Amino acid sequence: MIRVKTGLDHLIEVKESLRDLEVGLVVNHTSLTGDFTHLIEVAKNYARKIVVFAPEHGLSGALPPGATYTNYFDEDYSVEVYSLYGETREPPQDIVSSLDCLIYDIQDIGVRCYTYISTLYYCIKSAGKTSTPIYVLDRPNPLTGSTIEGPLVKEEYISFIGIAPIPMRYGLTAGELAEYFNTKYSLGAEVHVYPLEGWKREMWFDETGLYWIPPSPNIPTLTTALIYVGSVLIEGTNLSEGRGTTKPFEYIGAPWIKPVDLAKKMNKLNLPGVFFRPVRFTPYTSKYSGKNCGGVHVCVVNRNTFKPIETILHLIKLIKNDYSEFEWIKRRGEYFFDLLTGGNKVRLMLEQNCSVEEIAASWRSDLMKFKEDVEELLMY
């Protein structure tokens, strides 16, 4: 298997271009070369000064989901780390304006509510305000660049887990997304993309020859990332999404679920590319910590036909209709499910007992429009 060359691989070839520059690095634990050298180490050897910014989960990628943090000194790389997941989400303009350039290099998973792309958006925005060039070191979309699915965010539901009106599974690389953000929302930045070499849109991550590094604590595998496209919606309910187990986002359940019955009913739907295994699990953290839960293990048997969002909507609908204990969760007075889906339409259609087919049809025209909008920006 030939290994895909990442944007960082291309930067390494011209690393002398960093010499004597003052550089801002937007990085985390995934910002590695093919031989596992961190971009921070590369930049230290050439740049006059580096300033390090880190997204959710911190530079090491080990902080829990949703855990905000302040600036800190990282002893592993001997650098001060500026938090972009605390009170500040956008790199401070006074710092960015003093730099020769910003460099963004973070492995994403291709899902809208995964916050690394929101950090990318704010980095481009800050670079535009300060006329600082931003270089995006491209990496593959792990879930291929050929499939898009799910609802788009409505303007009134824009948030850090839905930074722009794009589909839940958006099918772009970070470089393509950077160009889209900058162009679509007139952010005014000077964006340069170091492209991938050898990557094709139909490729899954395990076909790239690159080593999978879990991009966050609860996405340990490529399969988890695929299922997460849909099972992240479970976070908007009082069901456990499997956090605190060995199968986060693959185990779904609650103490009041009857696992064998639920699995049988889900398997009778004959949904494409998936099988449901009855399970019992006890999360050590998050929802129902320390409590025995019944539920299902979402087992993907054909990733090319599996439809994660529609699959999870079928599961939510069935549980909602069968169990009176089911509830939607509110955070700060808002339905969290609505923030995840980018509007209230999906939840209201489920409340009205609409079919999942009707729900999926409701976002089809938006997907077609998005495809048209990004067509001229595709790099691969």
User: For residue 267, what pLDDT is reported?
Assistant: 98
Q: Using pLDDT thresholds of 50, 70 and 90, give the confidence band for residue 342.
A: very high
**Residues 91 and 250: beta-carbon distance below 8 Å:** no
Query: What pLDDT score does 2 carry?
Result: 80
* pLDDT tens, position by position, 243-267: 999 999 999 999 999 999 999 999 9
**Distance from C-alpha of 171 to C-alpha of 200, rounded to nearest angstrom:** 12
Give ranges for CATH 3.90.1150.140 in the chain: 222-343
164 has pLDDT over 90? yes
* 193 vs 96: CA distance, rounded Å: 18
d(CA 26, CA 48): 17
pLDDT at 362 over 90: yes
Q: What is the mean pLDDT of residues 178-207?
A: 97
CATH top class, domain 7-215+372-377: alpha beta
Whether residue 268 is predicted with pLDDT greater than 80 in this model: the reply is yes
Residue with tokens 């162009």: 183
Sign of the dihedral defined by the CA atoms of residues 260, 261, 262, 268, in that order: positive
pLDDT of residue 340: 98
pLDDT at residue 205, rounded to an integer: 98
pLDDT over 70 percentage in the chain = 100
| CA-to-CA dists, residue 53 to 81, 104, 215, angstroms | 6, 9, 16
pLDDT interval class at 333 (50, 70, 90): very high
d(CA 44, CA 50): 7
User: Please, which pLDDT band fits residue 241 given cuts at 50, 70 and 90?
Assistant: very high
Chain length of the chain: 380
Task: Report pLDDT for 95.
Answer: 98
Count of other CB atoms within 10 angstroms of residue 336: 17
Once rounded to an integer, what is the mean pLDDT over residues 97-113?
Answer: 98
Instruction: Looking at the structure, give the CATH architecture of the domain made up of residues 222-343.
Output: Alpha-Beta Complex (3.90)
Residues facing 54 on adjacent strands: 83
Question: What is the rounded average pLDDT of the residues 104-115?
Answer: 98
pLDDT digits (tens, 9 = 90+) for 22-74: 999 999 999 999 899 999 999 999 999 999 999 999 999 999 999 999 999 99
- The tokens describing 172, both together, are 């772009």
Tokens 């600036």 belong to which residue?
A: 71
| Secondary structure in 3-state letters for the chain | CCCCECHHHHHHHCHHHHCCCEEEEEECCCCECCCCCEHHHHHHCCCCEEEEEECCCCCCCCCCCCCCCCCEEECCCCEEEEECCCCCCCCCHHHHCCCCEEEEECCCCCECCCCHHHHHHHHHHHHHHHCCCEEEECCCCCCCCCCCEEEECCHHHCECCECCCCEEECCCCHHHHHHHHHHHCCCCCCEEEECCECCCCCCCHHHCCCCCCCCCCCCCCHHHHHHHHHHHHHHHECCECCCCCCCCCCEEEECCCCHHHHHHHHHHCCCCCEEEEEEEECCCCCCCCCCCEEEEEEEECCCCCCCHHHHHHHHHHHHHHHCCCCCECEECCEEHHHHHHCCCHHHHHHHCCCCHHHHHHCCHHHHHHHHHHHHHHCCC
Token pair, residue 43, equals: 């930049």
d(CA 89, CA 23): 19
Q: Where in the chain is the domain with CATH 3.40.50.12170?
A: 7-215+372-377
pLDDT digits (tens, 9 = 90+) for 282-300: 999 999 999 999 999 999 9
pTM: 0.97
What gap in Å lies between CA 197 and CA 203, rounded to an integer?
Answer: 13
Average pLDDT, the chain: 97
